[in-house]
Chains A and B, each alone.
Chain A
Amino acid sequence: MLSPITYKSFHSLRKRPVAITLGVIAFLWGIQCLRSMTFYSFRFMTRNDDLIVSLIEIVLIAAFDFGFILGNRMFPMNFSMADCTYHFSGPFSRFQVVMVPFGKAFMGMLFFLWFVTCQSLTLTFMFDINRADMFWMLGLSLIVMLLAYFIGVALAVFFSEGNKYYMTSYVFLGYHIILIVTLLYMVCTHFHVRLRDILDVEVNKLVIYIGHTIPMRTFPFAGWASYIYEGHVNGNYIPLVIGVVVAVVVIGSLIALLMFGKYEFYDRACSMAQRANDFREARKAGVDMATTSLAVDARVGKETIKHGWGLSAIFHKHIFENIRTSRIFFVNQAAFLFRMVCAGLLLLARTSDGIEDYPHLMATGAVAVIMVFNTVAFTGGRTILEFNRPFIYMIPEEPRHKLFACIAAEIPEILFDSLCCGGILYIASPESVTWQMVLAFIFMMISFDFLCEMLSLVCVRLMRSLGRYTLLVVKYAIIIFIVSVTQGLSELTQYILTKTSGPMVWADSTASGFIVSTIFYALIFALLLRFARYMLERYDA
């Protein structure tokens, strides 16, 4: 069994020279980071073994969680369609099949170790950690990750059915929530501070205290492993011996359990592989993952298709699909989700210290974040999905009319989305934004959303043969180019207005920039629309 996997991995890897090169560079960088530790190891502070024990313990807990997630959540996702076909139906025992995705998981573990290694300089400066400590940290992390991975895998395969599968995740999440709440309570009571003042406590004291609390030291495997390092520091190697025995017994038991236990996980792995394959197929057509998942939450309710005849049937179908996925005809689920994330990010940014000294920064940031999110949300909307299926080409209506019907169906959601964008801009910076500016921004976003939709359609129709990544890169590069040109035009307009009408306040100047952008985006949209009409009639479906 190992031989075919090695053969497959080797041949897959040799076809990815870029990945190999990046891997070698990353490895050399990691070595360099470890080498530099001695060079930079000035004594900025007195070495504190308690601090280092706590630090290692925190890293080990992160390693445990990472390994567990790799084993439990990622395990069924690490099978490809080919794995499902050839391994599940082949003459392999369940244990052999369980080991198939271990290679991918192990790469993930190496990435974790590399990431920790890259922090070695920071750790040296902040905590005076030395190279031997780093080796202990990395070695113990690898062992803890392996243990956590196999525990995660065992739970994933023994509880792979519907609710049981999710129950494992809930228990894991619940344990962490309880742990965090308990630690916060303990820290507050120990240092006599309120919750919001925790960060005022000196970091080193905080780390030492947290690392030595009972909940942390009893954390499965990761908490126990820190005793091994502590024993090493104190010259007591009994914890090391116990640790080795525990690790061997646990790994041996898990292997025995996986070899001789009765479990079934093929269904889940196949369904995950199928889903991953569907996403890949969708992305081959240049459609972003974020928008192909529109259908994931679709639930059949009482709604029915009862409107539309001929051309208008296309319009009503699009509206109906929105109702099916979000229950509201003018809500694009993906765009709305992005909008919520965007609002959350901006509200979080508003709480930053010193932001009040830069009143326009929040508004500018909000515009940038909103436009980035909209680029993703509206370059893979329903119109793009529609033109990836044969029905639209077969329906006996003029191609340009069908295109207009699809675009018309997007008007309600684009209008609603643009209003949301205007609202977010106002919330982001109420002190510097005027209503004229918000209104101009709403118009600009309407124009921009239509532009993204049309540009994406043209790119997908024209350059599908480029392949998924190139198509996405080209698509986003064109949008960035258009936005940059528009920015230049806006500034030129503002300059002319300032010269002719005198100085303008920031809000008016920005609003004029939005209006210029609206006009420019609308012009490009109109040009692309004309081109798209031509392409729908002249190019292969």
Chain B
Amino acid sequence: MLTVDNVTKKYKKFTAIDELSFKLDDGQTGVLLGPNGAGKSTIIKCIAGLLQFSGTIEINGLSNKSLDAKRQLGYVPEVPTLYDTLTIDEHLEFIRRAYKSDNKQYMEDLIERFELGDKRRKLGRELSKGMQQKVSICCALIHDPSVIIFDEPLVGLDPHAIKELKSLINELKAAGKTILISTHMIDTIEETWDVVNIMMKGKIAATRHNTDIMKAGEKTLDELFFEITEGETD
């Protein structure tokens, strides 16, 4: 479960996030949609504990800054930043050890699933952006977290990896994990989302549940997004 309550993040006089609140239950997949500069990555970084903020963020009822909360959190950053001198294998091994995860078989499964097997001895700096993104995703999942946040996870991935990631997200959802995805690409999340928050200027401009969209007469996600981002508010 992920709870964001009244979170504000300011950079000097500029308010990047303005009293933002939302909640995701276990097994729910939430999506943050919004144009560039809406504050999606900022709130994701706040949840990951990388930024200071005012307000409360809880992961399974624990403050996101606590060590117990960090153990239950996986984070895929917008730009993968790998270690130049570690190979793919070594990245996963290091993260597995740092998080004290005994499940080495899961590491092998992830490598196989994202087709990293033939590149496992390549250094971080030798990988393409897409490959780095795959490693970054594997690093976020290797300790089997219960809450996973993805910041633009599909950027740079090949079609096979996109398919695998979508399928993985569905599996994680079925296993009761809480997932939060920030993206611009509405069509890529159509099959997975449960609740969508459309952000504008650091605030949530609209929230929709998948069940609402199914109802007759409701706007589609595309229509709703463009209506809000092109000037009209909900």
- Minimal beta-carbon separation of B57 from chain A (angstroms): 14
Q: Which A residues are CB-close (under 8 A) to B45?
A: 541
Q: Which A residues are CB-close (under 8 A) to B93?
A: 304-305
- Minimal beta-carbon separation of A537 from chain B (angstroms): 8
Indicate whether A541 sits within 8 Å of B50 (C-beta atoms), given known contacts A305-B90, A394-B73, A396-B71.
Answer: yes
How far is it, in angstroms, between the C-alpha of A305 and the C-alpha of B45 when the chains are bound?
A: 29
- Minimal beta-carbon separation of B108 from chain A (angstroms): 15
- Which of B49, B85, B94 lies in contact with A394, CB distance below 8 A? B49
Q: Is A391 close to B, CB under 8 A?
A: yes
How far is it, in angstroms, between the C-alpha of A389 and the C-alpha of B84 when the chains are bound?
A: 11
Assess the B84–A390 pair: CB atoms within 8 A.
no
- Minimal beta-carbon separation of B104 from chain A (angstroms): 12
Assess the B85–A325 pair: CB atoms within 8 A.
yes
Q: Which A residues are CB-close (under 8 A) to B68?
A: 396
Closest to A398 in B: B67
The size bracket of the interface on B is 20 to 34
The size bracket of the interface on A is 20 to 34
Assess the A321–B81 pair: CB atoms within 8 A.
no
- Which of B48, B70, B81, B97 lies in contact with A309, CB distance below 8 A? B97
Which of these binds chain B: A234-242, A310-318, A486-494? A310-318
Closest to A537 in B: B65
How far is it, in angstroms, between the C-alpha of A295 and the C-alpha of B68 when the chains are bound?
A: 34
Q: Which A residues are CB-close (under 8 A) to B52?
A: 538-540
How far is it, in angstroms, between the C-alpha of A325 and the C-alpha of B122 when the chains are bound?
A: 14
Q: Is A395 close to B, CB under 8 A?
A: yes
Q: Is B77 close to A, CB under 8 A?
A: yes
How many A-B contacts at CB < 8 Å in the complex? 86
Q: Is B206 close to A, CB under 8 A?
A: no
Bitwise interface map of B from 54 to 97 toward A, beta carbon under 8 Å scored 1, else 0? 00000000000001101101010100010111110110011101
Q: Which A residues are CB-close (under 8 A) to B70?
A: 394-396
Q: Is A165 close to B, CB under 8 A?
A: no
How far is it, in angstroms, between the C-alpha of A394 and the C-alpha of B143 when the chains are bound?
A: 12
Q: Is A300 close to B, CB under 8 A?
A: yes
Assess the A321–B97 pair: CB atoms within 8 A.
no
Q: Which A residues are CB-close (under 8 A) to B219?
A: none
Q: Which A residues are CB-close (under 8 A) to B71?
A: 396
Q: Is B99 close to A, CB under 8 A?
A: yes
Closest to A299 in B: B123
Interface residues of A in 370-423 (CB under 8 A from B): 388-391, 393-398
Indicate whether A541 sits within 8 Å of B51 (C-beta atoms), given known contacts A308-B97, A310-B97.
Answer: yes
Q: Is A461 close to B, CB under 8 A?
A: no
Indicate whether A390 sits within 8 Å of B83 (C-beta atoms), given known contacts A298-B123, A305-B93, A396-B70.
Answer: no
Q: Is B98 close to A, CB under 8 A?
A: yes
Q: Is A475 close to B, CB under 8 A?
A: no
Q: Is B121 close to A, CB under 8 A?
A: yes
Assess the B51–A324 pair: CB atoms within 8 A.
no
Q: Is B13 close to A, CB under 8 A?
A: no
30 contacts between A and B (CB under 8 A): A294-B85, A295-B85, A295-B125, A298-B85, A298-B125, A300-B87, A300-B123, A304-B89, A305-B86, A305-B94, A305-B97, A308-B98, A310-B97, A311-B98, A313-B98, A314-B98, A320-B90, A389-B83, A393-B49, A394-B70, A394-B73, A395-B70, A396-B68, A397-B67, A397-B98, A540-B50, A540-B52, A541-B45, A541-B49, A541-B51
Beyond contacts A394-B48, A396-B99: 4 other A-B pairs, Cβ-Cβ < 8 A, are A310-B97, A320-B86, A390-B81, A541-B50
Identify the B interface with A (CB < 8 A). Answer: 45, 48-52, 67-68, 70-71, 73, 75, 77, 81, 83-87, 89-90, 93-95, 97-100, 121-123, 125, 139
Identify the A interface with B (CB < 8 A). Answer: 294-295, 298, 300, 304-305, 308-311, 313-314, 317, 320-321, 324-325, 388-391, 393-398, 538-541
Shortest Cβ-Cβ A-B pairs, 5 listed: A295-B84, A396-B70, A541-B50, A313-B97, A313-B98
